Every structure is written in structure tokens, then in C-alpha cells.
Structure 1
Amino acid sequence: MADWSATQYLKFEDERTRPARDLLAQVPLAEPRTIYDLGCGPGNSTEILVARYPDADVVGVDSSPDMLDKARNRLPQCVFVQADLTDWAAPAGADLLYSNATFQWVPDHLAVLQRLLTNLQAGSVLAVQMPDNTNEPSHLAMREIANESRWASLNPRTALGRADLPSPSAYYDALKPLCARLDIWHAHYQHALSGSTAVTEWFTSTALRPFIDPLTAEQRQAFLEAYTARIAAAYPSQYDGTVLLRFPRLFIVAIR
């Protein structure tokens, strides 16, 4: 895929940061010294880590140059590193590995989480939040449109989209033997957006990218118009034109 767009992502910064705050609220550390924000994006999640732990060294890690540029401008006092989480390893002494809405994009991420947790010292924490919405109408519509012959013939890979997350029990069995305590839970957000076009705008910077990145500008516009029409049918407007985007998310907090 092309590089991530920080500007597009931040159009919904308040909504995207709320799950990050909810995840951080469950981290049972009083005074961590070294924190890594994995998949830090434009620094919105890094910022709340700095606010809660002002005396800690907070390092942001991301694969996107554009996201890292925005993060460095936002938090010049922090260190930001470009890396692929598939093979990234935390330096010794990490107290908190924190990740908001990133590992769903990492291939075989369950094995990666096992590796990261194994390398932590006793008492350190791995805290992860991932969207668990691949079977929501928003994502079913992407795949249905991509499977239409007009689009599938352009790039068959677009019919795949993002894989479903493993079940909570799969995470439990994989991670619990490696830690002293493990909490796993789901939360279903109802993000209030200003109409079906706003829903399309939301996913343009994330889940729609594998579908639209290979397309020309004209093809992309046609795909997004078809997608917005399906969103309008799947998510009825409220009395004031607002659309409630149901958004399930999976949370994991593991204490080594």
C-alpha cells in the first residue's frame, strides 16, 4: 500500500483517541520509566502517554514516514523511530509496550505479540487495542463492492481486505502462559459522524486503503461513491443527520 496519510487520519482525532484513552486507563503501572508506543501514528496516542507519565521516556514506533513527521512536529521532546513491528524488538528495560489500533495490520500478529511479551521483564505490561469490525456493514460493503467484476478484474487482491481477528479464547491461550495476569475485553463504540460521507472519510485513511490505493483517481471516485451509497443504506441517519458508526474493538492488557 501507499504511505499512510496523517492528515486524513486526524480528521477524526477525537474519536480515534477515545479508545486509546480507554486502553491507557487500564494499564496498572504507577511510574513506568520507559514506554514504547507501537504504531504511534501522528502522535495522538503518544501524547496521552506523555500526559499520564510525564517523567517517563516515551518512544514512538511506526512504519509510516508521514505519520512520523507529524508525530515529531507534535511532540518534539519525544523520540520517534521508523520500524516494522513484524520484526521490531523492544530494547531491554521496557516497562510498557502500548499499541492503539495497529496490530490488526501486522501479519501473524498473535505470534508477534507472544514474542514481544516473552521479552518483557517481570511486571512490565503489554497493552493493545485493535478494531474488531471486519464483519460490520462498513467492512462487508468494501468486500462486496471489490468482488464485483469491475473491481476484482483491476486488482484481485482488493477482494481480500483485512483478515478477521482471532477469537478472544485464541488470544488467551496464546498469551496467558506467558504472563502473570491477562485481561481481554470488547467495547462497542457508537461514533457519531456527520452523515454517510463522513463514514467513508473515516475509512479512507484505514480499512479502505487496500481497496482504493491500486485504483486511478477516476476509479477511486467511482468506488467511493458506490461505497457511500451502501453506507447510507446500512447506517440510517438520526433525526439531525448524524450517523452512528457501530465500531467493536478488542482490548488486551497483559502483565508479564
Structure 2
Amino acid sequence: MPGRTTDWSPGDYLRFGDERSRPFVELVARVPSAPSTVVDLGCGPGHLTAVLRARWPAADVVGLDSSPAMVERARAENADPRARYVLADVRDYALGRSAVTGADVVISNAALQWVPDHRTLLPRLADTAGQAFAFQVPGNHDAPSHVLLREVAARAPYADVVGPVERRATADPGEYLDLLARPGWDVDVWETTYTHLLHGPDPVLGWISATGARPTLDALAAHDPALRARFEAEYGAALREAYPERPSGTALAFRRVFAVATRAA
């Protein structure tokens, strides 16, 4: 998973593993290919390799991630002994500068939003795929969870440490269609809003602390662990108000945007 942070925490990320996995399952099901090689860009802790193996049992699967902690976890778990996990950056891959090169299918789940100006790389990433290029990115950066992150981080004393929190600009399906629809390609784009029912104390804070809020929390912790704790208390209170607990749990609406570009026959 690319990103400006000290490193990612596989354990925190997998706390809501089932909810985070569902979009990938639905993305993979829409890829109409029979590849012999698959590259998973931003593979994280390797927990989704089984989805690729179930879809394409005979394929050579390579997971690529820029996080040493994620690659180490993927290798240690070894959920698929036939898969390989490589430490590499998505931008380097797109530009042909990584040890891993093109595959029949190139796929990415909730990772490209961390790549600066990822939209300019999409045609290059598609060109590395012999059969299909597919990805999913969050489209919820104007949801209360992210708006409140930016608002609380902009207050004193946090703003002096973290500066403005970037609104990661993923696109709508139509824009991804325009970027990928070229001669020789068939493109399928869509969006889905999932409503996840989360449980436990401060579940929305737990969810976003492993992903969208991680760079902010890391910056505060590096400066002063007590400041991070103060921020989490303030941000957590705002999240509890925005996402009230119900008798059945805490509902988190999460919009995701999908694209599958397939080389025309």
C-alpha cells in the first residue's frame, strides 16, 4: 500500500478484513480473462491472494507493495505457497523501473488513491497488462469520516505538526472511463456504496486509523505520543457524533469506484 507514513500496520488493517475484502471479490469477478500471470498492485498483507487463486487457479500470482511490513506479513502468512510478494512501488512499476514487469492481468484494490496523481498513470498501468487492467479505489473522501479528519487536523495544536491533510482526489466512474477508453480497449466502470455494520468501541476510528488517518496519526506520534492521544480523543468524539451507535452496531457508508479495462479481441 503506497502512502506517506512510517509504515502500515497489517494487524490494524485486517481488523475489518471481511468488509475490506468484499469489493476485491466483486472486482475480480468482473475481469473477463484467463491469465497465466497476475500482478496485484498494493497487495497489502496478502490476505486477498486466495481470491485471485480461486478465480485463476493455474496463474502465476505476484503481489507488489511498497510497505515492508505488509510484504513481510504476506510472506510470513504464506497463504498461497505458489504466490510471490515483492517490495516495490506502483509508480516504478508503471514506468517500467521495478523488477516485476507486465502480466496478463494487472489488478489493484484500494491502493492507487495513495499514489500521487494516480490518474496520469492509469493508461501506463493498463498498457502493462496483456489482457486486462482492473482497480478499485475509495470514493468516500467527502464522507463525514474524512471531512472531520481534515477539520480536526486543521485545529491548533495539530495543524502546526501535520499541516493541511490532503483530500485524496479519486475520480468518478465517468472520468476513469475517459482516461481508459482508447482504441483497442473495452472499459467497464461502476460504483457501489456499501453500508458496513461495525461493532466494538469507536469502530469508525478503528477503521480509518488503519488507512486514511494513518499518515496524520503517525506524524503526531512522531512529534509527541501524547499529542496523538489528544487528537484521537477529539477526532473520536466527532466520529461518534457523526456515526452514532445503534442497537445493531455502527453503520459506516463507504462508496467505492471500480474500473475494468480489457483489451478488445
TM-score category (smaller protein)? over 0.9
Contact 1:34–1:58 at 8 Å: present in 2 too?
yes
Contact 1:235–1:243 at 8 Å: present in 2 too?
yes
From 20, 24, 49, the counterpart of 1:16? 20
The 5-angstrom pairing of residues 170-185 of structure 1 reads 170-177=175-182, 179-185=184-190
Check if 1:5 corresponds to 2:17. Answer: no
Q: Identity over the aligned pairs, expressed in percent?
A: 41
Query: Paired residue for 2:260?
Result: 253
Aligned positions, number: 249
Contact 1:42–1:70 at 8 Å: present in 2 too?
yes
Query: Paired residue for 2:128?
Result: 119
The 5-angstrom pairing of residues 1-256 of structure 1 reads 1-29=5-33, 31-75=34-78, 76-88=81-93, 89=96, 91-92=101-102, 94-121=103-130, 124-156=131-163, 159-177=164-182, 179-195=184-200, 197-215=202-220, 216-240=224-248, 242-256=249-263
Bigger drift between 177-186 and 55-64 goes to 177-186
Any idea what SS the aligned residue of 1:214 has?
Answer: helix
Give 5+ residue unaligned stretches, structure 2. none
Bigger drift between 139-148 and 211-220 goes to 211-220
Length-normalised TM-score, structure 2: 0.89
Shift of 1:3: 0.7
Contact 2:174–2:189 at 8 Å: present in 1 too?
no
> Which whole-Å deviations, capped at 9, do the CAs of 1:125-169 have from their partners, x for residues lacking one?
11100011110000001000011122112231xx22342212333
Contact 1:189–1:248 at 8 Å: present in 2 too?
yes
Identify if the C-alpha distance between structure 1 residues 196 and 135 changes in structure 2 by more than 3 Å, giving closer, same or farther. farther
Give 5+ residue unaligned stretches, structure 1. none
Identify if the C-alpha distance between structure 1 residues 2 and 35 changes in structure 2 by more than 3 Å, giving closer, same or farther. same
Contact 1:36–1:98 at 8 Å: present in 2 too?
yes
> Which whole-Å deviations, capped at 9, do the CAs of 1:82-132 have from their partners, x for residues lacking one?
11101214624x1110111000001111121110112333xx111100011
* Alpha-carbon distance between aligned partners in 1 of 2:208 and 2:156, rounded to the nearest angstrom: 22
* Alpha-carbon distance between aligned partners in 2 of 1:119 and 1:207, rounded to the nearest angstrom: 28
* Alpha-carbon distance between aligned partners in 1 of 2:204 and 2:184, rounded to the nearest angstrom: 38
Shift of 1:61: 0.3
Bigger drift between 174-183 and 246-255 goes to 174-183
Any idea what SS the aligned residue of 1:154 has?
Answer: helix
Length-normalised TM-score, structure 1: 0.92
Identify if the C-alpha distance between structure 1 residues 117 and 237 changes in structure 2 by more than 3 Å, giving closer, same or farther. same
* Alpha-carbon distance between aligned partners in 2 of 1:168 and 1:58, rounded to the nearest angstrom: 27
